[in-house]
Chains A and B, each alone.
Chain A
Amino acid sequence: MTSTVSTDKKSFFGAYYLYKLKTLKNQFILCCIFSVVAMPLAALCHLPVLNDMEESLSLYAQPSLSNFAGMSWLCLIIGLLVLLGLFMLMPALNFSYYNKKDRVDVSGALPLTFSQRFWGDTLSGLTVCLAPFTVCLAIAAAIFIPRFCQVISVLNRENVTDLPVDKIAPYLLMLAVTGIICMVAGYLLSLFVTVCSGRFSASVLFSIVIALIIPFFAAVCVMACGGNGTQTFTDAGNILSYLPPFGTVIAFTINGVPAVQSLGDLLIILALFAVVLLASYFIAKYRKAEKTGEHFAINAVYHALTAVSVGAVLLLALSIAFNFELDSYSSGITAMPGLIIALSVLFTIIPLVVLDIFHYRNFAKMWRTAVKYAACAGGALGLYLLMSGPVSQMALNYSPATDDIECTYLSVSTPYEYAYSYSDLELRNDYIDMFLCDSKGAEFAKQLQEKAISVQSDSSPSREVSIDYALKNGRHIRKSIRVGEDLIFDALEYFGGIEGVLDTPLNPPEINNVNIPSLKIFGGDSYNNMPELISALKYDIANDNGKEKTGYFTLWLSTETEKYGGYNFNFSIFSEPLKNDSLSLRIPIFINDGYTKTLELIKSSGFNFDEDDTPLSFAVFSDDYRTVEKSYDIPKDAIYGETGEKIFELLKLTGGVMDIPKNSAHLAVTSICYDRPLFYVPEENVDKLLKIIEKYERTDLYD
């Protein structure tokens, strides 16, 4: 009468695994649908975009069926978000006996060991999510990568791009592995929370909390590290990339670099996965079956999660508050740190109380919430002091071993954007990029790092320097420091004598002549030519128009940068308005002779802004190059002047004044933008103009 199936532990595991797979068939179908949408379908939708790139020989070309491009991104983003949601929801569904009381008896009574049940559930859930995801990823790669490489090869051949085709597939592979890692991480974090919680709602809510709070906590720790004003930033992207899923996504958004760049990275992430998985296993093993139905089966995990969340928000508030105070000049704004901290207390204490009421279901135990909150606040303060003090100093001082460095990239910025006029000419370009690919360069970068100064301690002219150590293992370590200008000058001199060290010339591309239809803009060597140039420009284009207001374009000129004024041309921004036959001319003029001089220049160009409604905008710089104000819509009856007092008067008349130096004598330089539609381009000339612009865009301007 009875069957005589012989079973052992191994076959039971297999039977249970298969049984669980069968029970998850609905979830499997959902995963399949969204995997297909997110990957193969998105790849297919992107093919017309690639075709168009190939036809128009442009990386930035829009597809003729432009909706395909949008659809491919829509499919990808929505599909991936839903899939991540499914990965994170799966443990709560598959381990339902941890959050539904009536399921405990069924699963607990089955003739299985704990290990068989745990691994059967873990692996079946993961299989149901990961199998369609991986298969669809492979299909999408097969659709997209060969065609993409083909198109890039064509663009390279036509000198449109110089992307290394042989590196595209490995890069996309790393991206694919990173994608898988993000999904698996979402699953494992959710698994950890599920084995600790006792209700479905708690499992889902805290799975999201843990996935968000880990990278958030790491990010605020990094932020606190820069809290002493030295601007030491220990590559938040690097740290976050090891904290999938959200940390990795954020890091990818910041750096554009996948989390897995080497076998070492993969091993680190797999080790983190193993820790989470083993923690889940042992917690589940010692978890009591009767805890199902309670808010949290492992109370310590609930308290840890809420405490870390509260602590992270408080730490963030401390970092913002103290940094804000450092940057503040006005005594009227010193009240802000208190406000920030008060708000952070408010926004943390209310959710904590609500959650604890739900957790304890007993008001008599709420004193524990007060104790927990006090501990969180104390912990956050202690952590802030630690991070902004010794840890910050360690981060500032840390640099990789010279032998591990493949290449060093230095980027020296001007102190503040637009503040050209007070800088030495040699450094007047936006950024100086240096690729130092030998050990000497690496040593120099490390020396710069050692000589980093504190904004607090030194207000002498300084530069922000980004150092990017590209390591031999594929990762990057980035430092953002501030060093004295003298040091930079020394560096330039130092490197000027080293042959082959600088891959990029220090001087930006020089454009002496940029031809706009029938007009040579740059030919002179002084901003004194500006009225003449602007008048000529207006005259020629306006006269070519023949029709009124068919369009206008925007052009940036800089009187102080005669050597490389064309550097400010950014036609890619304007190409779209050109296509739409709506072009405007925008002239920011940087004048170091003061405000009145600027007005005179514009007036002498033939523009009478006193009589029309064109708004003026201008930026004011304090004498230590801080941008203190950018204001718009200056009233017509304002008294213009060139002294600090007058500028201060102006600022008071405008709305949205921020961070005004107490002493108006500190105000020094103005730059004025006269912004209005000036020139009208005849429709028949638009194509011609576009061609010229595109030519410069592709060759002269961005090389």
Chain B
Amino acid sequence: MINIEYVTKKFDDFCALDNFSLQIKKGSAYGLLGSNGAGKSTLLRLIAGIYRQDRGRITLDDEPVYDNVKIKQKIYFVNDETSQFSNMTIKDMRAMVKTFYPKFSDTTFDKLHNVLKLPMDKKLSGFSKGMRRQAAVMCALSSGCEYLLLDEAFDGLDPTMRIIVKKLMIDNMIENNTTVILSSHNLKEIEEFCDTAGLLHNGKLVFNRELDSLKGDLHKVQTSFENGEVPPLPELEILHTEQTGSVATLIVRGDPDRSMSVVNDKNAMFCDIMPLSLEEVFIYEMEVLGYDFDGIDR
């Protein structure tokens, strides 16, 4: 289990994480959401023991991470860059990871290599971004680490490869009870891959919930009234209202049955309740936090 307690991390005057707390259960697939600069990558680097927090405590299986070899052996971090291994071949990468991660599995590596079919002796500088990403993921999955921290790990992969890599990861999680923390701007990916997600904004955690519960909390109400205007609905926590012709779409937080009942009580011509995708959840939550999506073509 990863336990982050009251962590603050500042970069000069900029506060990347502000009194931040989070628990991530072992074996879970955790998705980190957030706008650019929200603190996702910083959080991953703190968990990986690359950065040192200014305040607070980060423990993994009840032991501090920073400068702790025993704990760091359990963590494998794949960052959002792909250029750092440019001078290496996959063979070199394999040797490197094998050197430092005692649970490195040659079998897994070979298996992954058979699937991904990357050239072993060619320098990564000659690879495409997606191929370099695949190489990094190969090493991560073969490392035998219990915690995989993936920062934008699917970035650059083509759709087929995304499916393959995701499947390999899921297999790995099942087989080794690996905990995966995935930060991504691709909400669909998180929706498909993760069971829990957290939203970071301005260094703070906006929410941290299981995805099913998260999506269940917000729902979309489509309705229409006789005069075409939605009457005041103070009983509901409406995050967003959109009117298209006579049909109104409301994003509401709370119990969907209650929303249906309240709208129907106002003599709606019709009322439908629809679930939200994670992307919509993200957008509306961010809108509440002051993100202005008006004028952005989505």
Chain A residues packing against B (C-beta within 8 Å): 1-7, 9, 12, 15-16, 19, 100-106, 108-114, 116, 288-290
Q: Look across to chain B and name the residue whose beta carbon is closest to the beta carbon of A9.
A: B69
Q: Which residues of B contact A106 (CB under 8 A)?
A: 79, 84-85
9 smallest beta-carbon distances between A and B, as pairs: A108-B50, A111-B72, A105-B79, A109-B77, A102-B84, A102-B81, A111-B73, A5-B102, A2-B103
Interface positions, chain B 65-83, Cβ under 8 Å from A, are 67-70, 72-73, 75-77, 79, 81, 83
Which of B105-113, B224-232, B258-266 is near enough to bind chain A?
A: B105-113
Tell me the bound Cα distance from A3 to B72 in angstroms: 17
Could you list some 18 contacts between A and B, CB below 8 A? A1-B105, A1-B108, A3-B106, A19-B96, A100-B84, A101-B81, A102-B79, A104-B50, A105-B48, A105-B81, A108-B51, A111-B70, A111-B75, A111-B100, A112-B72, A289-B50, A289-B51, A290-B51
Q: B49–A108 contact, CB under 8 A?
A: yes
Q: Which of A3, A15, A103 has the most CB of B within 10 A?
A: A3
Chain A residues contacting B83 (CB-CB under 8 Å) are 102
**Considering only CB atoms, which chain B residue lies closest to A104 in the complex?**
B50
| B107 and A1 within 8 A (CB) | yes
Q: Provided the pairs A102-B84, A108-B48 are in contact, do residues A15 and B107 lie with their beta carbons within 8 angstroms? A: no
Specify the chain A residue showing the minimal Cβ separation from B136.
A106
Q: Are B144 and A109 in contact (CB under 8 A)?
A: no
Are A105 and B50 closer than 8 Å at their CB atoms? yes
Residues of B within 8 A of A289 (CB): 45, 50-52
Chain B residue with the shortest CB-CB distance to A113: B67
A110 touching B100 in the complex, CB below 8 Å, given contacts A102-B84, A103-B84, A289-B50: yes
Cα A647 to Cα B101 in complex, Å, equals 88
Min CB distance A266 to B, Å, is: 35
CA distance A568 to B136 in the complex (A): 79
How far does the Cβ of A263 sit from chain B's closest Cβ, in whole Å?
A: 38
**B213 close to chain A: CB less than 8 A:** no
Contact digits for B93-104, partner A, Cβ 8 Å, 1 yes 0 no? 001100111111
Task: Report chain B residues within 8 Å CB of A101.
Answer: 81
Q: Tell me the nearest residue of chain A to B105, going by C-beta.
A: A2
B76 partner, pick from A15, A109, A116, beta carbons under 8 A: A109
Q: How far is the CB of A10 from chain B (nearest CB, A)?
A: 11
Docked CA distance A106–B69 (Å): 15
In B89-139, the 8 Å CB interface with A consists of: 95-96, 99-108
- B96 contacts which chain A residues (CB < 8 A)? 19
Measured CB to CB, the nearest residue on chain A to B88 is: A23
Please determine whether A2 and B104 come into contact, CB atoms closer than 8 angstroms: yes
Contacts of B51 in A (CB 8 A): 108, 288-290
Assuming A102-B84, A105-B45, A109-B50, is B144 touching A2 (CB within 8 A)?
Answer: yes
Shortest CB distance A463–B (Å): 63
The CB with the most chain B CB atoms within 10 A, among A3, A103, A105, A108, is that of A105
Which interface residue of A6, A9, A109 has the most chain B CB atoms within 10 A? A109
Q: Which chain A positions have C-beta within 8 A of B106?
A: 3
Q: Specify which of A7, A9, A109, A110 is in contact with B102 (CB 8 Å cutoff).
A: A7
Given contacts A19-B96, A109-B48, A289-B50, contact A12 B69 (CB under 8 A): yes
Chain A contact surface mostly: helix
Give the residue name and chain of the B residue nearest to A110 (CB): B100
Q: In the complex, are the beta carbons of A12 and B105 less than 8 A apart? A: no
Roughly how many angstroms separate A452 CA and B95 CA in the complex, as a whole number?
71
A688 to chain B, nearest CB (A): 69
Report Cα–Cα, A16/B101, bound state, in Å: 12
B75 touches A109 (CB 8 A): yes
Question: B77 contacts which chain A residues (CB < 8 A)?
Answer: 105, 109
> Given the complex, which residues of B lie within 8 Å of A6, measured CB to CB?
102
- CA distance in complex: A19, B67 (Å): 20
Select from chain A the residue with minimum beta-carbon distance to B51: A289
A673 to B100, CA, bound (A): 79
Contact of A15 among B49, B75, B99 (CB under 8 A): B99
User: Contact between A3 and B105 (Cβ–Cβ < 8 Å)?
Assistant: yes
Return chain B residues, CB-CB under 8 Å to A16: 99-100
Give, as a whole number of angstroms, the nearest-CB distance from B9 to chain A.
9
Question: Residues of A contacting B100 with CB < 8 Å?
Answer: 12, 15-16, 19, 110-112
Give A3's nearest chain B residue, CB to CB. Answer: B104
- Chain B hits for A111, CB < 8 A: 69-70, 72-73, 75, 100-101
- Tell me whether A114 and B76 are in contact (CB under 8 A): no
Residues of A contacting B72 in the complex (Cβ-Cβ under 8 angstroms): 109-112
Residues of A within 8 A of B68 (CB): 113
Shortest A289–chain B CB gap in Å is: 5
Contacts of A109 in B (CB 8 A): 48-50, 72, 75-77
Closest chain B residue, CB of each to CB of A115? B67
- The CA-CA distance from A112 to B81 in the complex, in Å, is 21
For the complex, what is the distance from the CA of A290 to the CA of B11, rounded to whole Å? 8
Closest to B144 in A: A2
**A288 contact set on B, CB distance < 8 A:** 51-52
Bound complex: CA A290 to CA B108 (Å): 33
Q: Determine the chain B residues whose CB is within 8 A of the CB of A108 once the complex forms.
A: 45, 48-51
Give complex CA distance A259, B75 in Å: 49
For B101, what are the chain A residues with a Cβ–Cβ distance below 8 Å? 111
Q: A108-B45, A113-B69 are in contact. Are A3 and B84 (CB under 8 A)?
A: no
Say whether B69 contacts A112, CB under 8 Å. Answer: yes
Nearest B-chain residue to A291, judged by Cβ: B11
Q: Which residues of A contact B103 (CB under 8 A)?
A: 2-3
Which A residue sits closest to B68, measured CB to CB?
A113
Residues in A whose Cβ lies below 8 Å from that of B73 = 7, 111
**How far is A19 from B95 in the complex, measured between Cα atoms in Å?**
9
Give 18 new A-B contacts, CB below 8 A, not counting A1-B108, A106-B84, A112-B72: A1-B105, A3-B104, A3-B144, A7-B102, A16-B100, A19-B96, A104-B50, A105-B45, A105-B48, A105-B50, A108-B45, A108-B50, A109-B72, A109-B77, A110-B100, A111-B73, A113-B69, A290-B51
- B76 nearest in chain A by CB position: A109
Contacts of B79 in A (CB 8 A): 102, 105-106
**Whole-angstrom CA separation of A109 from B76 in the bound complex:** 7
Residue ID in chain A nearest B108 by CB atoms:
A1
A6 to B73, CA, bound (A): 12
Instruction: Find chain A residues with CB under 8 A from B108 CB.
Output: 1
| Residues of chain B lying within 8 A (CB to CB) of residue A12 | 69, 100
CB nearest to B75 among chain A residues: A109
Note all chain A residues with C-beta closer than 8 A to B107.
1
Considering the chains assembled together, what is the distance between the CA atoms of A605 and B77 in angstroms?
Answer: 95
Task: Looking at the assembled complex, report how far the CB atom of A98 sits from the nearest CB atom of chain B, in whole angstroms.
Answer: 13
Q: Name the distance in Å between A1's Cβ and chain B's nearest Cβ.
A: 5
The CA of A114 and the CA of B77, in the complex, are separated in Å by 17
Q: Indicate the member of B11, B45, B68 with the most A CB atoms within 10 Å.
A: B45
Q: A2 to B45, alpha carbons, bound, how many Å?
A: 26
Closest to B106 in A: A3
- In the assembled complex, the Cα of A275 lies from the Cα of B140 at a distance in Å of 40
Complex: chain B residue closest to A294, CB-CB: B12
Q: Name B11's closest neighbour in chain A (CB-CB).
A: A290
Q: How far is the CA of A5 from the CA of B104 in the complex (A)?
A: 9
**B72, closest chain A residue (CB):** A111
With both chains docked as a complex, state the minimum distance between the C-beta of B96 and any C-beta of chain A, in angstroms: 7
| Nearest chain A CB to B92 CB, angstrom units | 8
A104 to B75, CA, bound (A): 16
Report the Cα distance A100→B105, complex, angstroms: 30
> Which B residues lie within 8 Å of A19 (CB)?
95-96, 99-100
Report the separation of the CA atoms of residues A24 and B143 in the bound assembly, to the nearest whole angstrom.
24
Within the complex, what minimum Cβ distance (angstroms) separates A213 from chain B? 28
Complex Cα spacing A100 to B144, Å: 28
Bound complex: CA of A564 vs CA of B57, how far in Å?
88
